[in-house]
Structures are given as structure tokens and as C-alpha cells.
Amino acid sequence: MPHIEILGASVRFGLVPILSNISLTLEPGEVAWLRGPNGAGKSTFLRLMAGLIRPFAGQALMFGETPGPSTRKRTGLVAHHPALYEELTLEENLTFFADLTATRHIRVDEALEAVGLAGARSRKARDSSEGMRRRADLARLLLTDHDLLLLDEAHSGLDRQAGGLVEALVERTIGRGGACVLVSHATEITFATRVVELNEGSLL
């Protein structure tokens, strides 16, 4: 069963069309690289795939179902901007997400260690660099297992060493039979299995 099945979906915000007649199927094991110019609708497309927005025309299915709480729980999303709470430390941010998913706190320590932030755990998110915040956001994905990863500019702010974290996360998900969609302005993503071009809300 495809992890994502979008058929003729169109999305608009108010009267402004964002996506027009989009169709996409994502099978387990696939890593789709979604690219296009600024304003093409990539982030909106990702949110459609995450089940956070509904199309006003067409259909969008996740894991064969209409998107809802049960399908979203199986999906890991890294948005354009890290969803960290500025006044909480990096550790407290991860602990907050761990508590909401009934994840043991030991995994918070492991996740911080894995992304190289063990020494900065007590730093507030607002006092952390963009790269550190992005690492912490990626660490959040290590707290639980996902069948689908949606990564919006996950490489943004990361140095070359940390960029390997994204690939490791993707490999971990694919290894479990999952799928992944990455939005990236990188010139090359070697581990992508297909490229999806988006321009002005339409697939090329």
C-alpha cells in the first residue's frame, strides 16, 4: 500500500491557488526529493502530505486512509522553521515532545548525543544557533519511529558534518520500510530515489 496517494489535489488559501491538480504516489522505500523555485508551493505540498491541510478538490490519502490523528502519529515532520519553544532549553524541548509521545526520557539523552548536542542540553533554544536548533529539531525525530518522514529544508543551517544526520534519519526510516519526502535547495541528494519538480503550484 502506498504511504501517500494524492490524486488531482488542489489547495488554496482563501481565493489564492497554491497547488493545482497535483497527483503523487509514494511507495514504501522511496525517497522523493521535492524541489522547485521559491514560492512554488513545496512547503504547502508537504503539509498536504502530512495531513495538516485538506485539498478543496481531489483526494489525499496517507497509508490508505483519510489523514487524521492516527496517520499523523506515524509521520515525522520537520518544518521550515524548527518548532522549538524559545524559553525552554534544548533538553526541555525534547523532553516535552517525549512526554507527549510517552517516550522514555533516556531516549532524550540518546537523541541529544546522536546529534552532537549533549554538551548544549541546558542552553535555551533562543540562545542557540540556527544549526543547533535544526539539530535539536532533527533529534526530535529520533524519539519515536516513523513510517513517513517529511523534511522541509532539513539541511538548512547545518554544517557538512551535521548534514549526514539527515541522511542517517532517512536511512533509518527506509530501513524500517518507510518512505521519505525531502524539500531541499541542495544541488545534489545522492540518496534520493526520485526527483519531483514543482513550479507555480503544479508538478512538472
Partner 1 sequence: MTFRRQALVILRRDLRIEGRTGEALLITLPFGLAALFLIPLALPLDTALLSRIGPGMFWAVTLLFGMFITFRQSAGESPAQHEQLRMLGVDPAARYTGRVIASTLLLIVFELVLAPTTILLFAPEPLDGWLWIVPLGVLVAIGLALIGTLVSDMTASLRGRSTLAPLLVAPLSIPLLVPAAQGLESIRTNNGILVPAMFMVLVVLALAVIGVMTAQPLEETT
**Closer to partner 1 at the Cβ: 52 or 114?**
52
Question: What is the CB neighbour count within 10 angstroms for residue 130?
Answer: 12
Contacts of 185-190 with C-beta under 8 Å, sequence gap 24+, read 185/35, 185/153, 186/155, 189/31, 189/33
**Closer to partner 1 at the Cβ: 98 or 203?**
98
- CA count, 13 A, side-chain hemisphere, 156: 17
Cα 22 to Cα 71: distance, rounded to the nearest angstrom: 20
- Residue from the set 24, 97, 111, 201 that interacts with partner 1 by CB under 8 A: 97
Cα 117 to Cα 111: distance, rounded to the nearest angstrom: 9
Minimal distance, residue 26 CB to partner 1, in Å: 17
- CA count, 13 A, side-chain hemisphere, 75: 25
Binding range to partner 1, per CB under 8 A, among 29-37, 67-75, 162-170, 195-203: 67-75
Binding range to partner 1, per CB under 8 A, among 2-10, 19-27, 79-87, 193-201: 79-87
Minimal distance, residue 154 CB to partner 1, in Å: 14
Report the interface residues with partner 1, using CB under 8 A: 47, 50, 52, 69-70, 72-73, 75-77, 79-83, 85, 87-88, 92, 96-97, 99-102
